[in-house]
Amino acid sequence: MDKFSIATVVLACVLTVCVGQTLSFGRCPTVKVQQQFDINQYMGKWYEERRFFAIFEAGMTCVSAEYTLQDDGSVKVNNTGYRRLTEKYSSAIGDAIVEDPKEPAKLGVRFSRYQPRGDYWVLETDYSQYTVIWWCTQFGFLNTQFAWVLTRSPEGVSAPTMSRIYDLLKGYGINTKNFSTTEQDRSKCPGR
């Protein structure tokens, strides 16, 4: 392996540790987002059922997201989770926008006005039970991915529904083995 290749691998590994998403070899998978996405039906509270590792969620349980449509068409994002280390809930408040009206299921989200927007692609949702969110960024011959399965209930979805979600992701070449289950048990989520 030449020095450039070694440097690229080292840089990609450092980026992954710093940012915290899943690192894979090859190109980002080609996916389709939700057709006829209705942002109004999408609003409200969602509970994190599964996620790929994300450094900003390390040590968090009882994670939820609440989306509120604003008058200007943007979406207020309130992500909340329980940090086991501090034994307190913490929230990240951000905003999301539809970046291209022709593809309303592709949103851009940020949690500071000084940061660039990150992709938030809704691959599939039925609005009442679950949503599947994903994004991928290419770094040469490597890619990094985030993925979440959110549900309307902290109890999650049925095994057959989760199996169908996994089949969808596997069909795109997304490795579902990267998912971990987020603790949502009421007895372990203080105040719920």
- What confidence score (pLDDT) does residue 105 get? 98
Query: What pLDDT, on the 0 to 100 scale, is given for residue 56?
Result: 76
Using left for φ > 0, alpha for ψ between -120 and 50, and beta otherwise, residue 61 falls in beta
pLDDT tens, residue by residue, 84-98:
889 999 999 999 999
pLDDT of residue 9: 41
Q: Is the pLDDT of residue 1 over 70?
A: no
What average pLDDT does the segment 88-112 reach? 96
Neighbours of 5 (CB within 10 A): 11
**The pLDDT of residue 12 is above 60:** no
The CATH number that applies at residue 86 is 2.40.128.20
Q: Across all residues in the chain, what is the average pLDDT?
A: 89
Tens digit of pLDDT for each residue in 137-169? 988 889 899 999 999 999 999 999 999 999 999
Q: CA 68 from chain center: how many Å? A: 17
Residue 167 C-alpha from the chain's centroid: 18
Is it the case that residue 5 has pLDDT exceeding 80?
no
Residues spanned by the domain of 48: 3-188
Domain count, the chain: 1
Instruction: Using the predicted structure, report yes or no on whether residue 41 has a pLDDT greater than 50.
Output: yes
Specify the pLDDT at position 55.
Answer: 80
Among 12, 85, 91, 13, smallest CA distance to 45 is for 91
